[in-house]
């Protein structure tokens, strides 16, 4: 299986970088192939241009797309699965990843009639988060994340969807150290099993 990883974190000195590396190690151990878009390293442009906005607002499929958007769409259509790996910032993905969706999920590709985007077998959203799962459930944030990430952004674009939150990773949390290894083992296994 070929997996497209969309990774969004501004620092290589982070737990999320360890998550990315463990997920890739799991993929490789199971014989899967992958392609990686590291949005910060690529300096992926997240703001729509006026032309991009007008294309989307008026459903003008005939208007051209920027080369960087086409490149991301080609990575999707040459893959069998997609995995998004990022931290959770203010109960959402980082602006860099949200901007990726804004620009890459274009009319005629990810939505609209005669979509050019293939339906992927699996979609994973892996988020490192400072707060605990208990907090996310009590506040309703977990349910909101499921709705936005799985049922809006992934929707029917993938057959099987999964949200993985690696909780209590904030530096001030006592559980951070004890959660580190089990979280990394969990994403390693997710990488191994993505094709099952």
- Can you give the CATH number for the domain in which 7 is found? 3.40.50.360
Q: Find out whether 195 and 30 touch, Cβ atoms under 8 Å.
A: yes
Give the pLDDT of residue 168: 85
- pLDDT-based confidence at 178, cuts 50/70/90? confident
Range with the lowest mean pLDDT among 59-68, 76-85, 166-175? Answer: 166-175
Confidence check: pLDDT of 173 > 70: no
- pLDDT-based confidence at 177, cuts 50/70/90? confident
- pLDDT-based confidence at 180, cuts 50/70/90? confident
Give the pLDDT of residue 130: 87
Q: Is the dihedral of CA 62, 65, 69, 75 positive or negative?
A: positive
How many domains would you assign to the chain?
1
* Chain centroid offset of residue 85 CA: 5
The DSSP call for residue 147 is I
Confidence check: pLDDT of 75 > 80: yes
Domain that holds residue 98: 2-193
Range with the lowest mean pLDDT among 40-49, 54-63, 177-186? Answer: 177-186
Q: Phi then psi for 38, rounded to 5 degrees?
A: -95, 95
Among 109, 83, 105, 120, which Cα is nearest to 8's?
83
Q: Is the dihedral of CA 151, 122, 112, 67 positive or negative?
A: positive
Give the pLDDT of residue 171: 65
Average pLDDT value for residue range 133-139: 95
């Amino acid at each position: 299986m070929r997996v497209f990883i969309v990774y969004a974190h501004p620092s290589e000195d982070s737990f999320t970088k360890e998550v990315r590396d463990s997920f890739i190690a799991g993929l490789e151990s199971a014989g899967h192939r992958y392609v990686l878009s590291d949005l910060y390293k690529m300096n992926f442009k997240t703001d729509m241009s006026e032309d991009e906005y007008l294309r989307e607002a008026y459903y003008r499929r005939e208007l051209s797309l920027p080369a960087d958007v086409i490149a991301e769409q080609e990575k999707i259509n040459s893959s069998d699965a997609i995995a998004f790996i990022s931290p959770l910032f203010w109960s959402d993905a980082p602006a860099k990843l949200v901007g990726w969706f804004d620009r890459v999920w274009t009319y005629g590709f990810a939505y609209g009639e005669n979509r050019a985007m293939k339906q992927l077998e699996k979609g994973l959203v892996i988020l490192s988060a400072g707060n605990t799962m208990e907090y996310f459930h009590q506040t309703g944030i977990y349910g909101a994340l499921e709705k936005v990430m799985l049922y809006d952004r992934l929707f029917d674009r993938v057959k099987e969807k999964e949200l993985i939150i690696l909780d209590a990773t904030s530096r001030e949390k006592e559980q951070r150290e004890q959660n580190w290894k089990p979280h990394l083992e969990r994403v390693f296994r997710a990488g191994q099993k993505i094709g099952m």
